[in-house]
Structure 1
Amino acid sequence: MGAGHSHRASRHADRLEVARGPRLTLLGALALAGIATVIGLVVLWPSGSDVDAVTSKVDFAAPGVTFPTADVKAVQPACSGDQSGGGSGGSSGSDCGSIRVTVAEGAGQGDTVTVSVPPQISDSGLTVGDTVVVQRTPVDGADPSYAYFGTSRTTPLLVLLAAFVVVVVAVARWRGVFALVGVVFSGAVLWWFALPALLVGSSGLAVGLTAAAAILFVVLYTTHGFSVRTSTALAGTFAGVLVTAGLGVVGTQATRLVGVSDESAGVLSGMVGQLDFAGLFAAALVVAGIGVLNDVTITQASSVWEIRAAAPQMTRRQVFASGMRIGRDHIASTIYTIVFVYAGTALAVLLVLRLYGLPFEVLLATEDITQEVVRTLASSIGLVLAVPLTTGIAALVVPGASGRDDLPE
């Protein structure tokens, strides 16, 4: 999610000898952060019984309802009187807006039934031979009823995933492999720690910061190697995360955000009473920001190392100024990334609000718009401040001018 800058320092830059004082100070600070992360994981890690107590109260469907897969045998066009499908064609027959399927696996295997589908599904390109998931509901004293649940997309998604892995490994080689390992670890932290901890009512901000710290420690060192340069980037990322989290909390309180703005939040509100939605928003803000912050801080740390290797006579102040010139370009391009990513995820909401034609100051009163504004501004400020923070840390850590290690220059 970056601007295409190189994160790899040259061999000459990697051979720079960092003085013992700055190195121990940096590593000591990171060690304290690591200890705090471990404590956070131990304290916040939910017990399996607590998670089960929450999830056991929630049933996705009524008892006996199953979701077998079925093969599509026939597809009827959307009914001509249905205006919500957006298709140009239509049918007025009794079977319009339906598909005929045969259950291939699961309960009811071999049953052939006709189920109605939304007009969007009829117009989506669904064809004979595709696989869908149907909802099978048992009925006392009668044949079970079937309804369309969704289209099976496992195969194309697996193909796309395989293409992604192949491209990453082919282009980035071992660094790509390590990056993929980091992605898998990040998903594991979110799935096995962050989500259960949030479900049992733990502080959203504490969970978000702990999960982010655990992810960053593993991802940065795995992908970029154990070095003082990587440690500098990690310290700068932590600083940016703390700024982002702090601004998110202040912005949430100042704007009186409640954290409930979409259907998923409404479902959670009804099923998980102890969930703190304001804290959930803060956690989401922290997790969403670490990727862009990581890109910026690694670039800045590498830039400072390269500058020092290329110009050993420059003072620390000059190294900082030179690194900031690179950072300003990176800030400009990455800010666009943040804005467009958030705008893309909220595009449907923006379309609906644009359709209403309300004044902008009225739109700002809606939870949806305010959440995106706070999310974008807090992340952007944290990103911008992470650049001088990381550059400053790196300028203090790299060797002094002409190989001298004295800090005051």
Structure 2
Amino acid sequence: PCGSPDNGRVLPGPPLDPRFPGPECPRSIVRLDTGPDAGREVLLEIPPGPGSPDLGAGDQIQLGRSPQGATDIYAFEDFTRTVPMALWLLVGAAVMVAVGRWKGLRALIGIVVALIVVVGFVLPSILDGNPAILVAVIGGSAVLYLVIYVVHGINLKTHAALLGTLSAMLAAALLSWVVIETTRITGLSGDSTTQVQVFVQHVSLTGLLLAGFIIGALGVLNDVTVSQSATVFEMRHLDPHAGPVEVFRSAMGVGRDHVASMVYTLVLAYTGSALPLLLLFSLGTRSPLSILTSDVVAVELMRSLVGAIALALCVPLTTAAAVWLSRDVTSEELDRATVGTRA
């Protein structure tokens, strides 16, 4: 039964029985490996219910520690997932390299570079109080320059993709600012945003929301622009005598299909991440319109909208840049510019 006075405390000996026995619950003895009480044991009582962790012998877990008088009280915080997550990351990396070969390896390097830029530049700059939208644009541009050339090489195809992505990213930055100002979404409904407001009060939540919109759009933009640029150069390689207008129209036909598939993919991805929240809303008495216009849902909807518009804009921008860069290119130069695509 639950209710032991030793619950959450370091055990001096066998745990005491409850003075007033309550409902039955699992009782676990946890050995502390780190912290001021390392090497000692703690009793944990976790009442059964929705979301309660199912602890078993040998589980590695994390505990939260809070002072209470002269002693500390420990409580379950989360499972330790370092080893299984590391194994899954290795599996994912192995699959990418096995399928993509050198391009897969360069893609992994690109991911590491992007994370280094975000963690090493974007986050510290925002914490220093710099304008979040400016930091996001500079950090996003740095990620694009490094990742596109690392993954796809230095050639005309990647130049065109970079021009298209940068143009669409700037459009997404401007559009994000207009959307947030006109809809007056704050992002305060999210738990993490609320914690930021409490612990890092000098950071602008609106700017942080803007930065999230911009960086969130980069991945899908890069995918579309690289594919669109490659399409143009392949068309020019197959028919070097085709006119710019003809190539532009043909490539736009491919781009429209790509954008259509990516837009609903983007919306479904955001919807999937918010599915538990939408389920909770559906249990209440609020109207569908009220749910869709609430801050927590509106943030995801507007992020999807900004990403979709940026996607639509990047296709003609990238196509025009690729057609312009390939207008006077010789057949030999086209071979060098498209060899990465065919590989």
TM bracket (short chain): 0.7 to 0.9
Could you tell me which runs of 5 or more consecutive residues in structure 2 were left unpaired when the two chains were aligned. 1-20, 332-343
Change (3 A) 1:401 1:133: closer
Aligned equivalents of 1:230, 1:240: Cα separation in 2: 15
Q: Tell me if the contact between 2:122 and 2:135 (Cα under 8 Å) persists in the aligned partners.
A: yes
Alignment match, 1:260 = 188
Instruction: Give the partner amino acid of 1:150.
Output: D
1:245 paired residue among 153, 170, 173: 173
| 1:340 matched to 2:268 | yes
| Number of aligned positions between the proteins | 312
| 1:116 matched to 2:45 | yes
Q: Bigger CA drift: 391-400 or 310-319?
A: 391-400
Q: Tell me if the contact between 1:217 and 1:234 (Cα under 8 Å) persists in the aligned partners.
A: yes
Q: Bigger CA drift: 197-206 or 317-326?
A: 197-206
**SS at 2:32's partner residue?**
strand
| 1:133 matched to 2:62 | yes
| 1:187 matched to 2:115 | yes
Instruction: Give the partner amino acid of 2:98.
Output: A
Change (3 A) 1:260 1:395: same
Instruction: Give the partner amino acid of 2:312.
Output: V
Aligned equivalents of 1:119, 1:104: Cα separation in 2: 26
**SS at 2:83's partner residue?**
helix
1:216 paired residue among 136, 144, 168: 144
Aligned equivalents of 2:158, 2:92: Cα separation in 1: 26
Q: Tell me if the contact between 1:301 and 1:390 (Cα under 8 Å) persists in the aligned partners.
A: yes
Aligned equivalents of 1:384, 1:395: Cα separation in 2: 18
**SS at 1:148's partner residue?**
strand
Alignment match, 1:38 = none
Aligned equivalents of 1:204, 1:136: Cα separation in 2: 33
Alignment match, 1:28 = none
| 1:326 matched to 2:254 | yes
| 1:207 matched to 2:135 | yes
Instruction: Give the partner amino acid of 1:372.
Output: E
Shift of 1:106: 4.1
Aligned equivalents of 1:279, 1:175: Cα separation in 2: 35
1:234 paired residue among 148, 162, 173: 162
Instruction: Give the partner amino acid of 1:270.
Output: V
Shift of 1:371: 1.0
* Cα deviations by residue, 1:44-94 (Å, 9 ceiling, x for unpaired): xxxxxxxxxxxxxxxxxxxxxxxxxxxxxxxxxxxxxxxxxxxxxxxx976
Shift of 1:193: 1.2
Aligned equivalents of 1:161, 1:118: Cα separation in 2: 34
* Cα deviations by residue, 1:116-155 (Å, 9 ceiling, x for unpaired): 33646886553211111223456665x5433222211111
Shift of 1:387: 0.5
Q: Tell me if the contact between 2:220 and 2:262 (Cα under 8 Å) persists in the aligned partners.
A: yes
Change (3 A) 1:275 1:116: same
Q: Tell me if the contact between 1:259 and 1:277 (Cα under 8 Å) persists in the aligned partners.
A: yes
- Higher RCO (Cα < 8 Å, 6 or more apart): 1
Aligned equivalents of 1:357, 1:318: Cα separation in 2: 55
Shift of 1:105: 4.1
Instruction: Give the partner amino acid of 1:166.
Output: A
* Cα deviations by residue, 1:196-232 (Å, 9 ceiling, x for unpaired): 2112221111011011000000000000000111010
Q: Tell me if the contact between 1:116 and 1:148 (Cα under 8 Å) persists in the aligned partners.
A: no
Q: Tell me if the contact between 1:313 and 1:402 (Cα under 8 Å) persists in the aligned partners.
A: no
What is the RMSD computed on CA atoms of the aligned residues? 2.3
Q: Tell me if the contact between 1:205 and 1:283 (Cα under 8 Å) persists in the aligned partners.
A: yes
TM-score normalised per structure 1: 0.71
Change (3 A) 1:220 1:402: closer
Q: Tell me if the contact between 1:315 and 1:400 (Cα under 8 Å) persists in the aligned partners.
A: no
Alignment match, 1:373 = 301
Could you tell me which runs of 5 or more consecutive residues in structure 1 were left unpaired when the two chains were aligned. 1-91, 404-409
Alignment match, 2:30 = 101
Q: Tell me if the contact between 2:25 and 2:48 (Cα under 8 Å) persists in the aligned partners.
A: no
Change (3 A) 1:118 1:178: farther
State the identity %.
Answer: 34
